Amino acid sequence: MATIERNTTLAAQIRQSLEMQIDSKLLQPGVKLPSERELSELFDTTRTTVKEALLAMEAEGRVYCEDRRGWFVAPPRLIYNPLYRSPFHQIVTEQKRQLETLVLSSRTIVATPTLCQELALPTLSRVNEVTRLRKLDGRVVLLARHYLKPERFPGILEHDLSQSLTTLYEQQYGVRYGRSRFEINPTAAWGEVAQALMLTEGSPILLISCVNYDQHGEIIDCDHEYWRHDAVRILVDSQELERMKANTLL
Amino acid sequence: MATIERNTTLAAQIRQSLEMQIDSKLLQPGVKLPSERELSELFDTTRTTVKEALLAMEAEGRVYCEDRRGWFVAPPRLIYNPLYRSPFHQIVTEQKRQLETLVLSSRTIVATPTLCQELALPTLSRVNEVTRLRKLDGRVVLLARHYLKPERFPGILEHDLSQSLTTLYEQQYGVRYGRSRFEINPTAAWGEVAQALMLTEGSPILLISCVNYDQHGEIIDCDHEYWRHDAVRILVDSQELERMKANTLL
DNA sequence: CAGTGGTCTAGACCACCAG
DNA sequence: TGGTGGTCTAGACCACTGC
């Protein structure tokens, strides 16, 4: 919550002013803020200073920016447990939110060295790559690239890949997730990633990389998830893991 | 790795130029970059543009800024598993790095509503708060605030709190960590946190909140860890958890 | 085509840090 | 005290979006 404070900098005053509007629900999640130019007139300053305030609020996850579209009030973060490999759709609906999945591409490629290492493959192996964009309540929040071992999922690229891969694995191939391992890196978005997430080049994002194993401990696939950093909150409970295990192995 | 590309923007060219120097080890981790003014002359541009390039590199974790001190080449990230509650000193030395811990304050306070909830305490309970600053290879990377249930650790504030709390708990109070639960929030640094981490107000950071339970499933303590976002890489393996459990419970 | 943010210029004054 | 980044001004042109 924003509190009234004596603050030295102009940018801090702009921030507080906007935060008070947001806290008081006068500015609702998803609503577009006035343009940088309008704000700079409102606060009798320049775009540079307004932008500085907005960037700090963006870092905090209070507002977000869509490239050349404008600034918006950030909705609540999605709570996400990367170890909990249930269908993503389910995770989202349990939080009473709406998911949309777009398949950007699906193809077979030669694995990069990093991928070979992650999937424990010999060099120059081929892998299936599926790139999907996910929208939360209509907003782009996640670009996910899945890399599958082709021999485990023959012909999978012919299926409808906008559905849950978890379900597809299980129903079509009898493969279920067992243990998994993930890594979180705060980093920046460039090129395609920035474009897909509608971010400016160099914006901070969260990169979550998962490696998944089946019920027999064999590697199934891995994925690289590029998240808008304000859209997610990671939550991991070691106890929940026990329950998951019970569910998976029985 | 930076590759030579035709890039449109000046800021991107500055970035690539600096990244090439870093990749080629001409600029070693920890080394100070030329001042913003020098760089702007070097690249025949203004401080604004130089700063834009530096901020993007900071988001990526290639460089970092110390408030009013200058810009430095970022050292490799520390690999950190928040579920793995072994002495932090051990985690750091295993990665052949050097840890320094400074106790900033230790006192008894009235728990905030958030804290009461996290620790499952009645409202207006008192808790012991220990604030510590941690340096990795001489660089401030983490401000950690621990909140302990006072009745579990009578007189703990009299001990030397710059040592491992894990060890202190076990040796002085016979308390060992069992399960735990953590949460990761990308957010921004304000006030004391920004100051302690030598960050500009509003810089992006990673907030990791942990709640820890003892071997009997009772809550022991929780902590709020404010990390410089470029200093850490979270890694969690569900299998490792099994081993941990075996170690803790036997 | 009007409006948006993205990028960039060429300065200025300040607080703070280090020698 | 000289040099650093922090903050801020008052503009400009551009690429792209959305009507």
Domain ranges of chain A: 10-73, 78-249
Contact B59 A201 (CB under 8 A): no
How many angstroms separate the CA atoms of A32 and A69, rounded?
A: 9
B77/A185 touch (CB, cutoff 8 Å), yes or no:
yes
The type of residue at B127 is V
Residue A3: the pLDDT is 40
Within 8 A of B82 by CB-CB distance, chain A residues are: 236
Query: Given an 8 Å threshold on Cβ–Cβ distance, is B239 in contact with A179?
Result: yes
Lowest mean pLDDT, pick from A19-28, B3-12, B223-232: B3-12
Q: Is A3 on the interface with B (CB under 8 A)?
A: no
Q: Are A106 and A128 in contact (CB under 8 A)?
A: yes
Query: Vertex B196, ends B56 and A235: CA angle to 5°?
Result: 70
Q: How far is B243 from chain A (nearest CA, A)?
A: 12
Separation between Cα atoms, residue A113 and residue A108, nearest integer Å: 15
Q: Which residues pair with B210 in a beta bridge?
A: B182, B223
pLDDT at A1: 41
Cβ–Cβ pairs < 8 A, chains A and B: 113
**Would you say the CATH fold of A78-249 matches that of A10-73?**
no
Distance CA B95, CA B12 (A): 33
Closest Cβ–Cβ partner in B180, B181, B184 for A184: B184
Rounded distance in angstroms from the CA atom of residue A201 to the C1' atom of nucleotide C16 = 32
- In CATH, the architecture of A78-249 is 3-Layer(aba) Sandwich (3.40)
Q: What's the sign of the alpha-carbon dihedral B231, B233, B234, B235?
A: negative
User: Amino acid identity of A82?
Assistant: P
pLDDT for the residue numbered A177: 87
User: Cα separation of B82 and B234, whole Å?
Assistant: 7
Q: What is the mean pLDDT of residues B210-232?
A: 94
B158 CA: distance to closest CA in chain A (Å): 32
Q: DSSP string spanning chain B?
A: -------SSHHHHHHHHHHHHHHTTSS-TTPBPPPHHHHHHHTTS-HHHHHHHHHHHHHHTSEEEETTTEEEEPPPPEEE-TT--S-HHHHHHHTT--EEEEEEEEEEEEPPHHHHHHHT--TT-EEEEEEEEEEETTEEEEEEEEEE-GGGSTTGGGS-TTS-HHHHHHHHH---EEEEEEEEEEEE--HHHHHHTT--TT-EEEEEEEEEEETTS-EEEEEEEEEEGGGEEEEEEHHHHHHHHHHHH-
What is the mean pLDDT of the segment spanning A168-177?
90
**pLDDT at A86 (0 to 100):** 87
What is the tens place of the pLDDT at every residue in A63-110?
999 999 999 999 999 999 999 888 999 999 999 999 999 999 999 999
Nucleotide D10: closest residue by CA–C1': A46
Does residue A143 carry a pLDDT above 90?
yes
- Residue A4 is predicted with a pLDDT of 39
Does the structural domain B10-73 have CATH classification 3.60.15.10?
no
pLDDT of residue A18 exceeding 80, the answer is yes
Residue B70: count of CB within 10 angstroms of its CB? 12
Within residues 167-226 of protein chain A, the ones with CB less than 7 A from nucleic strand C are 200-201
Average per-residue pLDDT for chain B:
92
The long-range contacts involving A90-98, CB below 8 angstroms and separated by at least 24 positions, are A92/A136, A97/A136, A97/A137, A98/A136, A98/A137, A98/A138
Q: What is the pLDDT of residue A250?
A: 43
**Share of residues in chain A with pLDDT > 70 (%):** 93
B121, two tokens: 């305490």
pLDDT, tens digit, for every residue of A120-142? 999 999 999 999 999 999 999 99
Look at residues A74, A3, A4, A15 and name the one whose alpha carbon lies nearest to residue A49.
Answer: A15
**B223 contacts chain A (CB < 8 A):** no
Report the amino acid identity of residue B189.
A
Task: Tell whether the model's pLDDT for residue B104 goes beyond 60.
Answer: yes
What's residue A2's pLDDT?
39
Q: How confident is the model at residue A246 (pLDDT cuts 50, 70, 90)?
A: low
- Residue from A244, A206, A224 nearest B241 by CA: A244
Name the phi and psi angles at B142, rounded to 5: -145, 130
A chain contacts of residue B188, beta-carbon cutoff 8 Å: 56-57, 59-61
Q: Is the CB of A46 under 7 A from strand D?
A: yes
Query: Which residues of chain B make contact with A236, given a CB cutoff of 8 A?
Result: 82-83, 181-183, 236
**Residue B244: which pLDDT band, with cuts at 50, 70 and 90?**
low
Q: What is the pLDDT of residue B206?
A: 98
